[in-house]
Every structure is written in C-alpha cells, then in structure tokens.
Amino acid sequence: MMPYVITKRTRAIAAAMVLAISGPSALAGHHVQAGEQQNAASSAATFIRCGTLIDEKSPQPLKNALIEVSGNKIVSVTANAAASSKSGPGTWIDLGSETCLPGLIDTHTHTLLQGDQRPGQYEEQILKWSLPYRTIRATQSAQRALDYGFTTIRDLETEGAYYADVALRNAIREGVVPGPRMKVATRALDTTGAYALIGYDPALTLPHGVQVIDGPYEARKAVREEISNGADWIKVYADRSVYHGPGDTMESIPTFTLEELNAIVDEAHRERHPVAAHAMGLEGVHNAVAAGVDSIEHGAYISDDDMKTMLARGIYYVPTLYIFIYADQIHAAEGFQGWRGGTAIHAETFRRAHKAGLKIAFGTDVGGFEWTINPAKEFAYMVQYGMTPAEAIRSATVTASELLRMQSEVGTIEPGKFADVVAVPSDPLADIGALEHVSFVMKDGVVCKNDK
C-alpha cells in the first residue's frame, strides 16, 4: 500500500504547486490544450456556412453567415458572406439551408438517473444498480445530451451516486468520453425523513438519494465536503410533499429550517459556490428566496412577493415544465391522480414570472424522465405559456450561460467564445419545435453530429 500512498501524495503536492504558481485559470488552459491535442489534425481553420445564424448577439438573425473556427474557439463571424468566398485552406461545412445557433444549455439535468417516475424505477436504480453501472449509464446520457444539441449542462445531483458526476465531468473535459461541458452539484442536501428511500422497516439501513444532514453545523460540513470533492454547485431541497393549497396555490412542507438554509447558503457563498434550491410550493420557495439561493428549481407556485425579492436579488427561475406533464401522463396511465391540477398552476406561475421579468433559465430535469426522450420538448411549453420562440432560445443560451457564470465562454456565437454551434433544418423562430430536430452539433470546435 505504501507506494500508492506516496504516489497519491506526490500527485496532490504537484497539483497544489501548479495551483499555487499559476492559479486555476492555468489548469483550465491545460484542459483546453488536451482538447486541442485531440483535434490536432486540423490546426487550419474550419468554416461553417449558415443559411441563417441566430448568434444571440446581433439584434436580428444574420443571413448567409460564415463562422470561422480555429482550435476550440470562434475566430470570426461574417454576415452576408458571398458564396464565392469559399477559399483558402481549412475545412468547409455547408449548412446553407439550415439555421445555426449557439450550443444549447440545459441547466437542470441528472445524467446519473434513467427515469424515476414509473413505479419501482427509482428503487431499482438505488438498490440494484452498482455505482460503476450507473456511471456507465451516465456516460450514455451525456452522449445523448450532446446528440440533442446540448453542449453545456448543469447536472443537479447524482441521486445516490455520490461523486460520479465529478468523474464524468472530468472525463469529458479531458476528452476520455464525449459529452457536454458540465457543472455538477454532486450530492443534494436534505433532512432526515424527507427523501427516498423512506418508509421501509426501521431496522434496515438503506441508501438515500441525497446527503442527509440536520442542523447548521452538519450543513456547513456537508457543503465543505462536497466542494472539496469537486462540486461546482450546491443543491439543496427546500421542501417536500407539495399539495394544492387554497385558491390557485401550491403549498409544501419545508425541509430545512431557515437557520439551516442560511448556513448552507452562507457557507457555499463564502467558498464562492452558488446554490440551487429545489423548491416547489409557497413555503419552500419563500424560505429558499429568504436564504438567498441563486436559483429556484421547479417553482410550481411562487408568490408575487417572492417574485419581487427574486427580481431584486437576481435569483433565477428554472421552471422545468415538461417533467410534470410527463409525470401526470405516467400517473394517469397507472390509474392514480398525480398532482391534481398542479401543472395548470405551474403554467400560471410561469406566465406571471415571465410578465414580471424574472430571469428564466432553460432546464428540463431530464433523467427524471428517460434520456431516450428529447429534453428539447421543454421549449414548446415555454412558448405555449407565453414566451416568444426568440425568448425561449435566449433562455437556453444567454440566460443559461449567465446562471452558470459562463457568459464569457458560451451562450453566444462571437469571437473568443468556445466553438459550440448547433443547427436545425427549419426555422425555430417560426416553429420552436424545430429545436427537437438538431441535425448538426459542434462542441469545442469538433463536429459531434452531422446528419447531412
């Protein structure tokens, strides 16, 4: 065992020295180099000709645009490029009849979950699937995300798979397996008695889908532990047991006390890490907003007062509309009433949030529904509930990049940003459903999909 210990220590010391000498950005640079090595075959530029380009920077879509890519970065974007401008060395990709847009961003995914709405599905994964098997399945989910056009994701907890998301994020970053850039939350935090698996013989010690903690001291320790193990985000469950309240409201049972939530948010922010809160009903949302989290996940019902606080504090809303519609369909098929009108209240909350000008970031909760279903279905509901197609696209590009604090790297197609480009055969501004048919995906300057 001793040589292993020495090797491990030596590596840790070497890593610490690199950090001390050059800071984290140098490490990021190292990863970029690794990616470039992988694609070293073409040090010459790649040119993508787009019939239409929604670059998310210009006020209007650009016609006959030419995107120049070198390595993993965008070098230039030219509108009205003459067809005869094809010249010089490099790779030319003709998307002259397609609409191109920035790589899409899903800010709420679970790569380590393969559906949990059908009876027994969650228990099977938690109790029967090994951690290695779940991780292998997660690499498949990551590949699917990329195929659907999502070049960046925020993976919001592993559901009992510990730190497997950190391993997946790093393996993708190093070019070991294909997948989107990932921000990860590792293990979500919840209190005793609030999260599956529960309801079994008390004599049994069973695993949970979360890290179970109680009290502000355990809260701070858990946040420190997760960050030290590689978490980019902290995920916390603010409530459970959501139910239809008086009028058109949804109420819930808060999990953590405000004292506990404050400790989680304070500790995470002290270490410069943002916090995402699962909050479904009035009380859960209110507590999470009061504690100053950075994003409200789901938010089936948010009071007007809490929306005002969210606006004032710049707290994002990630509505995840489709998962609840999907769940209702499953529950109806199984013969019991799921959420009793909850989706209608959720839709109304979305409409109010949009009208109030809240920052709404695209997120789907995919993994809660199977990865074989395209999470881009979410777009259609956002438009059905009041967004224009252009606004829905912006929520999955610019707004999502801002939530992830990655706006200098992704979210628009402009010089200096990562070369993440997708294309669809028809106009998504005319029919948002076009985004369910991504035919071309480039991530980091590498073509991952081209159906032409």
Check residue 190 for interaction with Zn ion (CB under 5 A).
no
One-character DSSP codes across 202-270: TTS----SSEE--HHHHHHHHHHHHHHTT-SSEEEE-EEEEEE-SSS-EEEEE-S-HHHHHHHHHHHHH
Shortest separation between residue 147's beta carbon and Zn ion, angstroms: 21
By C-beta, is 81 or 236 nearer to Zn ion? 236
Shortest separation between residue 113's beta carbon and Zn ion, angstroms: 8
By C-beta, is 77 or 403 nearer to Zn ion? 403
Q: Which of residues 385-414 bind Zn ion (CB under 5 A)?
A: none
Shortest separation between residue 107's beta carbon and Zn ion, angstroms: 11
Tokens of 213: 């903690």
By C-beta, is 235 or 394 nearer to Zn ion? 235
Tokens of 281: 């009903």
Rounded Cα gap, residues 146 and 257, in angstroms? 39
Rounded Cα gap, residues 139 and 45, in angstroms? 30
Shortest separation between residue 327's beta carbon and Zn ion, angstroms: 12
By C-beta, is 52 or 158 nearer to Zn ion? 158
Alpha-carbon distance values, 161 to 158, 183, 267 (Å)? 5, 16, 23
Alpha-carbon distance values, 115 to 148, 302, 330 (Å)? 17, 26, 11
Nearest CA to 63 among 20, 107, 95, 24? 95
Candidate ranges 113-121, 240-248, 365-373, 421-429; the one touching Zn ion (CB under 5 A): 365-373
Q: What does DSSP say about strands 440-443 and 446-450: parallel, antiparallel, or unpaired?
A: antiparallel
Q: Which of residues 324-363 bind Zn ion (CB under 5 A)?
A: none
Shortest separation between residue 242's beta carbon and Zn ion, angstroms: 14
Shortest separation between residue 109's beta carbon and Zn ion, angstroms: 8
Nearest CA to 141 among 373, 326, 381, 361? 373
Yes or no: say if 172 and 210 are a contact pair by the CB < 8 Å rule.
Answer: no
Check residue 365 for interaction with Zn ion (CB under 5 A).
yes
Shortest separation between residue 270's beta carbon and Zn ion, angstroms: 25
By C-beta, is 72 or 186 nearer to Zn ion? 186
By C-beta, is 55 or 365 nearer to Zn ion? 365
Shortest separation between residue 195's beta carbon and Zn ion, angstroms: 12
Check residue 116 for interaction with Zn ion (CB under 5 A).
no
State the number of binding residues for Zn ion (CB under 5 A). Answer: 1
| Residues 6+ away with beta carbon under 8 Å from 178 | 142, 143, 146, 172, 448
Nearest CA to 452 among 98, 158, 176? 98
Please tell me whether residue 165 adopts helix, strand or coil conformation: helix
Shortest separation between residue 60's beta carbon and Zn ion, angstroms: 35
154-169 core/surface letters (b: 16 or more CB in 10 A; e: else): bbbbbbbbbbbbbbbb
By C-beta, is 213 or 323 nearer to Zn ion? 323
Q: Return the residue nearest Zn ion (CB atom).
A: 365
Candidate ranges 182-190, 192-200, 238-246, 364-372; the one touching Zn ion (CB under 5 A): 364-372
By C-beta, is 365 or 436 nearer to Zn ion? 365
By C-beta, is 232 or 365 nearer to Zn ion? 365
Interface contacts to Zn ion, rule CB under 5 A: 365
